Each structure stands twice: as structure tokens, then as C-alpha cells.
Amino acid sequence: MATFEKSAVLQGTRPPPEAAAETPNRLRRILGLWDLVLMIIGTVIGSGIFLLPGPVLRAVGNSVPLGLSVWLGGGILSLLGALTYGELSSMKPRAGGLYVYIRDCFGPFPAFLFGWTLFFVISSGSIATLAVAFGNYLGEFVQLSLSGTKIVALLVILVITAVNVLGTRQSADLVNVTTAIKVAAILLVSAVLLWQGRNPIFSGGSITDHQSTSMSGFGLAMISVLWAYEGWQYVTYSAGETINPQRTFPLAFLFGSAALIGIYLFANLGYLAALGASGVAGSTRVAATALGVVVSHGAGKFVAIAILISMFSAANSIMLNAPRVYYAMANDGLFFRSLAEVHPRFQTPALAVGAAGIWSAMLAASGTFEQLLTYVVFIGWIFYGLAAASIFIYRKRAPDAVRPYRVPAYPWTPIVFILAATALVANTIATQPVRAGIGLGIVFLGAPAYAFWRRTAKPASKEDSENV
């Protein structure tokens, strides 16, 4: 890395404009602390908080204390993972994030399988899901046919792809604005529900009262809540474009995770005040139902707008981050070499972004994303656990490496997160063995592709690889 880049990273300043000209195939460090905080919040908050509180409360037998403790516990588990990734990101601020940690500590094969699954199913499938859901919710305002819904989904993918090709700064600004709007909408709705609601919040009974019926559903509820918190790890993929990552990542993970816990708990309290425990448990679209009861039935349109903004923001944030993994894979010679190119004008991995956009659009148009995600989404937690486990290997191999931030309560913080990830995966395998088997089969379809790229492709030059 050039001297001026080192200085910029350490001082938290932006590289000089001539940096792009001097290093045309390198990503520029232009993302600051609040970009990352809003990126974490924007990626995580999709439609879950508007829909999941009812199923979560039903799973724990309508116990309000237990239901709220699930939301709090899920947030704390995510925070433990975020704090662990904070050390990894500050020590190894390279584009690709989790892919880099898994590659360094467990080898290129599991790292490739992670990138393979991310590209073909997890990130592209998530973008397709959000885009199609956007089209469905737009039906609240405009009558759309099935083909019309798909056209809207494709337009959403086209827009976020174009924005992310044109510039990281432009995409981050769009994430910042849309995330700020959706957070403000959630907080406003929750405040109105708390102010106008007439139901006692804790009328659903205590943990003891419901222990016999609700503890068995605690694990199921926790899985749902962890899905609602899922997505904060995406920000690690853009570590190669973050200013002063040694300081920025730990703070961003802390602030972002704490904000998510607060937002989710505040929203749940608002729903309970508006509908009561039985009303929340009986609703599948709790936000719209609660606002309709407290304000008017027409107020549900406001929730639909908030959900539209929320889904667009989440899709854009995924498109901003995920292609950095494909860029890192290509630099290692484990993916199409052209995906390692940085656009000379826009300073983005434009071809990697374009490839992600094209595949996401194909999934959205074909409708296959739902089946793929159903089988594979739990697989992500295997890789999240592996990435967290890499902290032990890094500390053993490089005990004297510069670590501007060290995860608190080490080794228990990463251990608890790894155990939670293991439990989630094991639960899926135990309760849905066929689904789990198909999912693992899809992942290992990447093995022949790995053998091909390993044999034929050439890695990037050492100079380019140092920027990955």
C-alpha cells in the first residue's frame, strides 16, 4: 500500500484525488463511521420488524416478557458476533471481509464455497426477494399484474445496480438517506402507538406463567429473531473502502448493533400498546394492523410506504457490499478474472456489481429465488461461525500483530456467538433434514467450479492482491 494511503487510513482522512490515477485498479477508501453504521442498520432492517413480532410472540405462548427477551437476546447474540468481527475488520481491513478471514485461516476451498453460495443464492436471492416483495407492496397503491410485479422488481434491481456501478459514494449516500427515512418512520409509528395505545404492555403474563408452554418455542422464536437481525456482517465486505478501519469498524458495529436492539424493542412495545399481547400474536402484518387500530385503517398505507423504503434500502446495501467478495475472489484467481477490475472512472468493481445485478434479475424473473433461499439461507451461519472462529487462529499465528481493537471478554464473546451459530444450524438439520441436505448439496456444487478455477485461473498481481 502506498505511503499516502497508509497515512490516510491512520489519520482518518480521504485519499487525495490523484490516488485513483496512480492506482487505477484499487478501491478507494471513502466510507466513514456513519456510512457503516447506517449501512448496518439499512441492511438488517428489511420487512422483519413489520411482520415477525406476531409469530415470535405466538411461539413463546403469548408471554410478553419472554417475547421481549427473545428480541433482546437475539440482539445481544448479534452484538457478540459484531464485536468479534470488529477485531477482525480492524486487524485485516481488506475487501471481502468474511471471505478473507475464512481464506486465511481455513483455506481457499471453504472461502470459495462461501463466496460461491453468496453469489448464486444468499446475496442475489436476498436482492431478488426484496425486489419482488417491493413490487408486491407497491400493489397497495397501484394495481399490478404478475408480470407487472416482476417488471417493477427488475427495475429496482436495475436502479441499485446502476447506482453501485456509478460510485461507492453515491450508493452509500442513497443508503444513508433511505435508512434515515425508514428508521424515522419506525420510530414515529412506534411513538404514536405508545402514545395512543390503550393496552397494558405486559398483560401477556410472566415467563413463569407460560414456562410450560413457551420454553419449547423459545428456540423457534430465536431463529426468527436472528433472521430479523441478519445482515450486519455485510459491512465487512467493504473493509477495503473504509477510512481508518482500525477505529471505524469497532465503533460502527457497536453503534449499529445497539441501535438495532433499541429500534426493535421500541417497535415491539408500540405494537403491544396498540394491540395487546393477544392482538400482536394474532396478527401477520402487525405494523399495519396496529396503526390501523390506533389511527385509522387508511394509516396502513403509511406502513406500506415505510416497508417499500425499507426493502429498497436493504437491497441497495446488499448490492453495495456483496460484490466486494466476488472482487476479492477474482483477485485470488478463484472467480472470473474480469470481476477483479476496478472501473477507471467510477472507482468501483463495476463488473462484479453488474454480474451480481444480472444474476439477481434472473432469479427475480424466474421466481426460483424462494426455493433456493429456503434450502440455503441457514448455510450462511456455518460461514459466520467459521469467520468468528478465525479470531483464535489469527491470535495464535500472529500474537504480536497490531490490533487497534481487541474484542472484549475474549474468548467468551466469540465462543458464545459460535455456539449460537452452531445451535441454529444444528436445529435446522435436526428438524428439517431433507431441506438441510439439499442446501448442503447446493453449496457443494461449487466444488467442481473451485477445481476448475484453481487449475486454470491466475491470481492477481501481488500489488493488486495487497489491496484486497
Dihedral through CA 323, CA 325, CA 328, CA 333, nearest 10? Answer: -90
243 in Cβ contact with 8 (< 8 Å): yes
The CA-atom distances, in angstroms, between 2 and each of 6, 136, 327 are: 6, 48, 20
Q: What is the DSSP string of 221-282?
A: HHHHHHHHHTTGGGGGGGGGGBSSHHHHHHHHHHHHHHHHHHHHHHHHHHHHHHHHHHHHHT
Closest CA to 424 of 207, 214, 230: 230
Closest CA to 231 of 63, 415, 75: 75
Calpha distance 424→77 (Å, rounded): 12
For residue 250, say if its preceding peptide bond is cis, omega within 30 degrees of 0.
Answer: no
Residue 337: exposure state from Cβ atoms within 10 A (0-12, 13-18, ≥19)? middle
CATH architecture group of domain 28-465: Up-down Bundle (1.20)
Calpha distance 42→443 (Å, rounded): 27
CB contact burial 145-184 (16+ within 10 A = b; e otherwise): eeeebbebbbebbebbbebbbbbbbbbbebbbebbeebbe
pLDDT of res. 242: 92
pLDDT of res. 95: 86
455: number of Cβ within 10 Å? 7
The DSSP call for residue 334 is S
116 in Cβ contact with 444 (< 8 Å): no
Phi, psi of 207 (to 5 degrees): -60, -40
Calpha distance 253→157 (Å, rounded): 27
Q: What 3-state class would DSSP assign to 12?
A: coil
Calpha distance 9→128 (Å, rounded): 35
pLDDT of res. 205: 55
Calpha distance 465→330 (Å, rounded): 10
Q: What is the pLDDT along the chain (468 residues), one digit of tens a residue?
A: 333 233 333 333 334 333 333 345 678 899 999 999 999 999 999 878 888 898 888 888 888 888 999 999 999 999 999 999 999 998 988 989 999 999 999 999 999 999 999 999 899 989 998 998 898 888 778 888 888 889 999 999 999 999 999 999 999 999 999 999 999 999 999 999 999 888 877 765 555 544 444 455 777 788 788 888 988 999 999 988 999 998 999 999 999 999 999 999 999 999 999 999 888 888 878 888 888 888 876 777 788 888 899 999 999 999 999 999 999 999 999 998 889 999 999 999 999 999 999 999 999 998 777 777 778 878 888 999 999 999 999 999 988 888 888 999 999 999 999 998 998 888 888 888 888 898 899 899 999 999 988 887 665 544 344 444
pTM for the structure as a whole: 0.86
Domain ranges of the chain: 28-465
Q: What 3-state class would DSSP assign to 468?
A: coil
**CA 268 to the chain's CA centroid:** 21
pLDDT of res. 10: 33
Q: What 3-state class would DSSP assign to 322?
A: coil
